[in-house]
Amino acid sequence: MTDSNAEQIEYWNGAAGERWAAFQPVLDRALAAISDAVLAFAAGRPGERVLDIGCGTGTTTYALAKAVGPSGSVTGVDISRPMLAVARARGVGVNFREADASTRLFHPTHDLLFSRFGVMFFADPLAAFANLHKALSPHGRLAFVCWRDVKENPWASAPIAAARPLLPPQEPVDPLAPGPYAFADDARLRRILSDAGYRDIRIDKLDTTMHMGEGVDEAAEQALRVGPLSRAAAGLDDATLDRIRTVVREALKPFATSAGISPAAACWLVGARA
Ligand SMILES: C[S@@+](CC[C@H](N)C(=O)[O-])C[C@H]1O[C@@H](n2cnc3c(N)ncnc32)[C@H](O)[C@@H]1O
Protein backbone atom coordinates (compact mmCIF):
# COMPACT_ATOMS: atom_id res chain seq x y z
CA MET A 1 0.00 0.00 0.00
CA THR A 2 1.31 3.43 -0.89
CA ASP A 3 -1.49 5.16 1.01
CA SER A 4 -3.68 4.22 3.91
CA ASN A 5 -7.43 3.90 3.97
CA ALA A 6 -7.62 5.88 7.23
CA GLU A 7 -9.79 8.58 5.66
CA GLN A 8 -12.33 6.05 4.36
CA ILE A 9 -12.32 4.15 7.67
CA GLU A 10 -13.15 7.41 9.45
CA TYR A 11 -15.79 8.31 6.83
CA TRP A 12 -17.65 4.97 6.97
CA ASN A 13 -17.54 4.92 10.79
CA GLY A 14 -18.91 8.46 10.99
CA ALA A 15 -22.12 10.11 9.82
CA ALA A 16 -22.12 8.36 6.42
CA GLY A 17 -21.97 4.88 7.98
CA GLU A 18 -24.68 5.84 10.50
CA ARG A 19 -26.89 7.09 7.64
CA TRP A 20 -26.45 3.90 5.60
CA ALA A 21 -27.13 1.84 8.74
CA ALA A 22 -30.29 3.79 9.60
CA PHE A 23 -31.71 3.79 6.08
CA GLN A 24 -30.86 0.22 5.12
CA PRO A 25 -34.44 -0.67 4.01
CA VAL A 26 -34.74 2.55 1.97
CA LEU A 27 -31.38 2.02 0.31
CA ASP A 28 -32.11 -1.62 -0.42
CA ARG A 29 -35.34 -0.66 -2.12
CA ALA A 30 -33.50 2.02 -4.12
CA LEU A 31 -30.83 -0.46 -5.22
CA ALA A 32 -33.10 -3.48 -5.78
CA ALA A 33 -32.83 -3.54 -9.59
CA ILE A 34 -29.04 -3.24 -9.46
CA SER A 35 -28.81 -5.87 -6.75
CA ASP A 36 -30.79 -8.40 -8.77
CA ALA A 37 -28.60 -7.73 -11.80
CA VAL A 38 -25.25 -8.15 -10.03
CA LEU A 39 -26.37 -11.24 -8.09
CA ALA A 40 -27.48 -12.86 -11.37
CA PHE A 41 -24.19 -11.83 -13.00
CA ALA A 42 -22.16 -13.31 -10.12
CA ALA A 43 -24.23 -16.53 -10.24
CA GLY A 44 -23.32 -17.93 -6.81
CA ARG A 45 -23.80 -21.72 -6.78
CA PRO A 46 -24.49 -24.27 -4.04
CA GLY A 47 -21.34 -25.17 -2.12
CA GLU A 48 -19.31 -22.11 -3.11
CA ARG A 49 -17.14 -20.08 -0.71
CA VAL A 50 -17.77 -16.38 -1.11
CA LEU A 51 -16.38 -13.07 0.19
CA ASP A 52 -18.71 -10.05 0.02
CA ILE A 53 -16.33 -7.07 -0.06
CA GLY A 54 -17.61 -3.85 1.53
CA CYS A 55 -20.75 -5.76 2.51
CA GLY A 56 -22.24 -2.85 4.48
CA THR A 57 -25.51 -3.83 6.13
CA GLY A 58 -25.38 -7.33 4.63
CA THR A 59 -28.22 -7.42 2.11
CA THR A 60 -26.17 -9.05 -0.63
CA THR A 61 -24.29 -11.20 1.92
CA TYR A 62 -27.55 -12.89 2.98
CA ALA A 63 -28.68 -13.20 -0.66
CA LEU A 64 -25.39 -14.92 -1.50
CA ALA A 65 -25.75 -17.23 1.53
CA LYS A 66 -29.11 -18.34 0.12
CA ALA A 67 -27.53 -18.99 -3.28
CA VAL A 68 -24.62 -21.09 -1.93
CA GLY A 69 -26.82 -22.98 0.56
CA PRO A 70 -25.76 -24.87 3.68
CA SER A 71 -22.85 -26.58 1.94
CA GLY A 72 -21.33 -23.20 1.01
CA SER A 73 -20.09 -20.29 3.11
CA VAL A 74 -20.23 -16.52 2.88
CA THR A 75 -18.20 -13.93 4.76
CA GLY A 76 -19.07 -10.24 4.65
CA VAL A 77 -16.10 -7.91 5.10
CA ASP A 78 -16.38 -4.23 5.95
CA ILE A 79 -14.63 -1.40 7.77
CA SER A 80 -17.85 0.21 9.06
CA ARG A 81 -18.84 -0.78 12.58
CA PRO A 82 -22.34 0.79 12.44
CA MET A 83 -23.14 -0.99 9.17
CA LEU A 84 -21.73 -4.32 10.41
CA ALA A 85 -23.86 -4.02 13.56
CA VAL A 86 -27.00 -3.82 11.39
CA ALA A 87 -25.75 -6.68 9.20
CA ARG A 88 -25.17 -8.98 12.20
CA ALA A 89 -28.59 -8.19 13.67
CA ARG A 90 -30.40 -9.16 10.47
CA GLY A 91 -29.89 -12.92 10.48
CA VAL A 92 -27.79 -15.99 11.11
CA GLY A 93 -25.63 -18.33 9.05
CA VAL A 94 -23.27 -15.67 7.71
CA ASN A 95 -19.92 -14.47 9.05
CA PHE A 96 -19.23 -10.78 9.24
CA ARG A 97 -15.71 -9.52 9.75
CA GLU A 98 -14.52 -5.99 10.48
CA ALA A 99 -11.47 -5.67 8.23
CA ASP A 100 -9.88 -3.51 5.57
CA ALA A 101 -10.29 -5.71 2.51
CA SER A 102 -7.38 -4.03 0.76
CA THR A 103 -4.79 -5.26 3.24
CA ARG A 104 -6.33 -8.17 5.19
CA LEU A 105 -4.87 -11.52 4.18
CA PHE A 106 -7.60 -14.06 3.42
CA HIS A 107 -7.24 -17.80 2.89
CA PRO A 108 -6.76 -18.54 -0.84
CA THR A 109 -9.88 -20.68 -0.91
CA HIS A 110 -12.67 -18.48 -2.24
CA ASP A 111 -14.66 -19.31 -5.35
CA LEU A 112 -16.21 -15.86 -5.64
CA LEU A 113 -15.22 -12.35 -4.60
CA PHE A 114 -18.39 -10.27 -4.81
CA SER A 115 -19.24 -6.63 -4.22
CA ARG A 116 -22.16 -4.25 -4.59
CA PHE A 117 -20.51 -0.81 -4.65
CA GLY A 118 -17.88 -1.72 -2.01
CA VAL A 119 -14.61 -1.70 -3.99
CA MET A 120 -14.26 1.90 -5.22
CA PHE A 121 -12.91 3.32 -1.97
CA PHE A 122 -9.39 1.82 -1.88
CA ALA A 123 -6.55 4.36 -1.53
CA ASP A 124 -4.36 2.11 -3.70
CA PRO A 125 -6.72 0.09 -5.93
CA LEU A 126 -3.95 -1.88 -7.65
CA ALA A 127 -2.50 -3.08 -4.33
CA ALA A 128 -6.00 -3.78 -3.00
CA PHE A 129 -7.11 -5.89 -5.97
CA ALA A 130 -3.75 -7.71 -5.93
CA ASN A 131 -4.32 -8.50 -2.25
CA LEU A 132 -7.87 -9.71 -2.98
CA HIS A 133 -6.56 -11.87 -5.84
CA LYS A 134 -4.69 -13.91 -3.20
CA ALA A 135 -8.06 -14.77 -1.61
CA LEU A 136 -9.22 -16.63 -4.72
CA SER A 137 -8.85 -20.34 -5.34
CA PRO A 138 -7.13 -21.13 -8.67
CA HIS A 139 -10.53 -21.35 -10.39
CA GLY A 140 -12.10 -18.48 -8.48
CA ARG A 141 -13.80 -15.44 -9.97
CA LEU A 142 -14.48 -11.79 -9.24
CA ALA A 143 -17.91 -10.18 -9.81
CA PHE A 144 -18.91 -6.68 -8.75
CA VAL A 145 -20.97 -3.65 -9.66
CA CYS A 146 -19.67 -0.07 -9.61
CA TRP A 147 -20.88 3.28 -10.94
CA ARG A 148 -20.17 4.75 -14.35
CA ASP A 149 -19.64 8.52 -14.68
CA VAL A 150 -21.79 10.67 -12.39
CA LYS A 151 -23.02 12.56 -15.50
CA GLU A 152 -24.66 9.33 -16.68
CA ASN A 153 -26.35 8.98 -13.27
CA PRO A 154 -29.05 11.66 -12.95
CA TRP A 155 -30.21 10.19 -9.61
CA ALA A 156 -26.88 11.61 -8.32
CA SER A 157 -26.18 14.55 -10.66
CA ALA A 158 -29.64 16.18 -10.88
CA PRO A 159 -30.11 16.86 -7.14
CA ILE A 160 -26.64 18.35 -6.63
CA ALA A 161 -26.90 20.46 -9.81
CA ALA A 162 -30.20 21.92 -8.59
CA ALA A 163 -28.83 22.59 -5.10
CA ARG A 164 -25.47 24.02 -6.18
CA PRO A 165 -26.41 27.73 -5.78
CA LEU A 166 -27.37 26.99 -2.16
CA LEU A 167 -24.26 24.97 -1.29
CA PRO A 168 -20.95 26.27 0.03
CA PRO A 169 -18.18 26.37 -2.63
CA GLN A 170 -17.20 22.78 -3.44
CA GLU A 171 -13.61 21.58 -3.85
CA PRO A 172 -13.01 20.24 -7.37
CA VAL A 173 -13.29 16.44 -7.30
CA ASP A 174 -10.35 14.31 -8.45
CA PRO A 175 -12.08 11.74 -10.69
CA LEU A 176 -9.51 9.08 -9.76
CA ALA A 177 -9.70 9.62 -5.98
CA PRO A 178 -11.31 6.88 -3.85
CA GLY A 179 -15.06 7.38 -4.04
CA PRO A 180 -18.22 6.15 -5.74
CA TYR A 181 -17.12 7.16 -9.27
CA ALA A 182 -13.45 6.12 -9.07
CA PHE A 183 -13.97 3.40 -11.71
CA ALA A 184 -16.05 5.41 -14.16
CA ASP A 185 -13.21 5.02 -16.68
CA ASP A 186 -13.48 1.39 -17.76
CA ALA A 187 -10.08 1.41 -19.52
CA ARG A 188 -8.43 2.39 -16.22
CA LEU A 189 -10.40 -0.25 -14.33
CA ARG A 190 -9.41 -2.92 -16.85
CA ARG A 191 -5.72 -1.91 -16.49
CA ILE A 192 -5.89 -2.08 -12.69
CA LEU A 193 -7.47 -5.55 -12.72
CA SER A 194 -5.08 -6.84 -15.36
CA ASP A 195 -2.02 -5.48 -13.50
CA ALA A 196 -3.39 -7.01 -10.27
CA GLY A 197 -3.30 -10.46 -11.91
CA TYR A 198 -6.89 -11.07 -13.08
CA ARG A 199 -7.68 -12.52 -16.51
CA ASP A 200 -10.74 -12.89 -18.74
CA ILE A 201 -11.83 -9.42 -17.61
CA ARG A 202 -15.26 -8.29 -18.80
CA ILE A 203 -16.81 -4.92 -18.10
CA ASP A 204 -20.44 -4.76 -19.23
CA LYS A 205 -22.82 -1.82 -19.16
CA LEU A 206 -25.77 -2.11 -16.81
CA ASP A 207 -28.41 0.51 -17.58
CA THR A 208 -31.23 0.47 -15.08
CA THR A 209 -32.99 2.82 -12.66
CA MET A 210 -32.62 3.94 -9.06
CA HIS A 211 -35.92 3.93 -7.16
CA MET A 212 -35.78 7.13 -5.10
CA GLY A 213 -39.28 7.01 -3.62
CA GLU A 214 -42.98 7.04 -4.34
CA GLY A 215 -43.04 10.81 -4.80
CA VAL A 216 -40.70 13.80 -4.93
CA ASP A 217 -40.79 14.46 -1.16
CA GLU A 218 -39.39 11.02 -0.42
CA ALA A 219 -36.95 11.24 -3.35
CA ALA A 220 -35.54 14.59 -2.15
CA GLU A 221 -35.00 13.09 1.33
CA GLN A 222 -33.13 10.20 -0.25
CA ALA A 223 -30.92 12.58 -2.24
CA LEU A 224 -29.97 14.22 1.06
CA ARG A 225 -29.03 10.85 2.58
CA VAL A 226 -27.04 9.16 -0.14
CA GLY A 227 -25.06 10.36 -3.14
CA PRO A 228 -23.05 13.52 -3.84
CA LEU A 229 -25.65 15.95 -2.47
CA SER A 230 -25.60 14.20 0.92
CA ARG A 231 -21.83 14.73 1.12
CA ALA A 232 -22.00 18.36 -0.06
CA ALA A 233 -24.88 19.31 2.26
CA ALA A 234 -23.47 17.69 5.42
CA GLY A 235 -23.58 20.13 8.34
CA LEU A 236 -25.76 22.82 6.70
CA ASP A 237 -28.36 24.60 8.83
CA ASP A 238 -32.05 23.61 8.75
CA ALA A 239 -33.21 26.68 6.83
CA THR A 240 -30.73 26.03 4.00
CA LEU A 241 -31.64 22.34 3.97
CA ASP A 242 -35.32 23.28 3.58
CA ARG A 243 -34.51 25.51 0.59
CA ILE A 244 -32.43 22.68 -0.89
CA ARG A 245 -35.36 20.26 -0.44
CA THR A 246 -37.61 22.63 -2.41
CA VAL A 247 -35.29 22.92 -5.42
CA VAL A 248 -34.42 19.22 -5.38
CA ARG A 249 -38.12 18.24 -5.42
CA GLU A 250 -38.55 20.36 -8.57
CA ALA A 251 -35.44 18.85 -10.17
CA LEU A 252 -36.72 15.32 -9.56
CA LYS A 253 -40.24 15.83 -10.96
CA PRO A 254 -39.20 14.95 -14.55
CA PHE A 255 -38.20 11.47 -13.31
CA ALA A 256 -41.71 10.53 -12.15
CA THR A 257 -42.92 7.19 -13.52
CA SER A 258 -45.85 4.93 -12.69
CA ALA A 259 -43.43 3.12 -10.33
CA GLY A 260 -42.34 6.29 -8.49
CA ILE A 261 -39.35 8.59 -8.93
CA SER A 262 -36.90 6.46 -10.91
CA PRO A 263 -34.00 8.27 -12.61
CA ALA A 264 -31.53 6.34 -14.76
CA ALA A 265 -28.69 4.48 -13.04
CA ALA A 266 -25.58 3.67 -15.09
CA CYS A 267 -23.24 0.98 -13.75
CA TRP A 268 -20.49 -1.39 -14.80
CA LEU A 269 -20.91 -5.10 -14.17
CA VAL A 270 -17.36 -6.33 -13.78
CA GLY A 271 -16.25 -9.95 -13.99
CA ALA A 272 -12.81 -11.60 -14.04
CA ARG A 273 -11.03 -14.87 -13.26
CA ALA A 274 -8.11 -15.54 -10.94
C1 LIG B 1 -21.46 2.39 -0.91
S2 LIG B 1 -21.31 1.37 0.48
C3 LIG B 1 -22.00 -0.17 -0.12
C4 LIG B 1 -22.39 -1.11 0.98
C5 LIG B 1 -23.06 -2.40 0.54
N6 LIG B 1 -22.21 -3.21 -0.30
C7 LIG B 1 -24.39 -2.12 -0.14
O8 LIG B 1 -24.46 -2.22 -1.37
O9 LIG B 1 -25.35 -1.78 0.57
C10 LIG B 1 -19.56 1.02 0.48
C11 LIG B 1 -19.12 0.07 1.55
O12 LIG B 1 -17.74 -0.26 1.36
C13 LIG B 1 -17.12 -0.30 2.63
N14 LIG B 1 -15.67 -0.15 2.45
C15 LIG B 1 -15.00 0.93 1.97
N16 LIG B 1 -13.67 0.69 1.95
C17 LIG B 1 -13.49 -0.58 2.42
C18 LIG B 1 -12.34 -1.40 2.67
N19 LIG B 1 -11.10 -0.95 2.42
N20 LIG B 1 -12.53 -2.65 3.17
C21 LIG B 1 -13.79 -3.10 3.45
N22 LIG B 1 -14.90 -2.37 3.25
C23 LIG B 1 -14.77 -1.12 2.74
C24 LIG B 1 -17.80 0.83 3.39
O25 LIG B 1 -17.64 0.74 4.78
C26 LIG B 1 -19.25 0.65 2.95
O27 LIG B 1 -19.92 -0.27 3.76
Distance between terminal CA atoms of the chain?
21
Which CATH topology does 6-149+175-212+261-273 take?
A: Rossmann fold (3.40.50)
Predicted confidence at residue 172, as pLDDT, reads 84
Name which of 188, 214, 219, 215 is nearest 201 in CA terms: 188
Contact status, residue 176 vs residue 182, Cβ threshold 8 Å: yes
Contact in structure between 110 and 50 (CB atoms under 8 Å): yes
Query: Looking at 67-76, 78-87, 168-177, which range is the least confident one?
Result: 168-177
Domain ranges of the chain: 6-149+175-212+261-273
What's the pLDDT tens digit per position in 242-262?
Answer: 999 999 999 999 999 999 999
Distance in Å, CA 9 to ligand 1 centroid: 10
From 18, 53, 61, 121, give the residue whose CB has the most ligand 1 atoms within 8 Å, as the site to mutate.
121
Containing H/E element for 17? Answer: helix 15-22
In 3-state terms, what secondary structure has residue 15?
helix
Residue 170 CA to its chain's centroid (Å): 23
The protein residue with its alpha carbon nearest to ligand 1, atom 19, reads 100
> Which ligand 1 atom minimizes the distance to the CA of 59?
9
- pLDDT above 80 (res 2): no
pLDDT value at residue 170: 86
Which of 51, 77, 79 is the pocket-test mutation for ligand 1 (most atoms within 8 Å of CB)? 79
Outline where DSSP puts E strands in the chain: 49-53, 73-78, 95-98, 110-116, 136-147, 199-209, 256-257, 260-261, 264-273
Question: What's the pLDDT score for residue 4?
Answer: 79
pLDDT digits (tens, 9 = 90+) for 23-49: 999 999 999 999 999 999 999 999 999
Question: CB–CB of 27/20 below 8 Å?
Answer: yes
Burial class of residue 169 in the structure, from the number of CB atoms within 10 Å of its CB (0-12 exposed, 13-18 middle, 19+ buried): exposed
Q: Which helix (H) or strand (E) holds 192?
A: helix 186-195
**What one-character DSSP code corresponds to residue 222?**
H
Q: Whose CA is nearest to atom 14 of ligand 1?
A: 54
pLDDT, tens only, 190-230: 999 999 999 999 999 999 999 999 999 999 999 998 889 99
Q: What pTM was computed for the model?
A: 0.95
Return the amino acid letter for 201: I
Find the mean pLDDT for residues 114-119.
Answer: 98
* pLDDT at 1 exceeding the cut of 50: no
The DSSP element (H or E) to which 225 belongs, if any, is helix 216-225
**Spacing, Cα 250 to ligand 1 middle (Å):** 31
Cβ pair 53, 115 in contact under 8 A = yes
Pick the residue whose CA is nearest to atom 25 on ligand 1.
Answer: 80
Other residues' Cβ atoms within 10 Å of the Cβ of residue 224: 20
Output the CA 117–ligand 1 centroid distance in Å.
7
Query: What average pLDDT does range 79-88 have in this prediction?
Result: 98
In the reported structure, the alpha carbon of residue 4 is separated from the centroid of ligand 1 by a whole-number distance in angstroms of 15
Evaluate if residue 134 carries a pLDDT over 60: yes
Q: How many Cβ atoms from other residues are within 10 Å of residue 251's Cβ? A: 22
Pocket, ligand 1, Cβ cutoff 6 A? 5, 8, 12, 54-57, 59, 77-80, 83, 100-102, 116-118, 121-122
Task: Please identify, by atom number, the ligand 1 atom nearest to the C-alpha of residue 101.
Answer: 20
Convert the pLDDT of each residue in 149-201 to its tens digit.
Answer: 999 999 999 999 999 999 998 888 888 999 999 999 999 999 999 999 999 99
- Residue 24 CA, closest ligand 1 atom number: 9
Distance between Cα 227 and ligand 1 center (Å)? 14
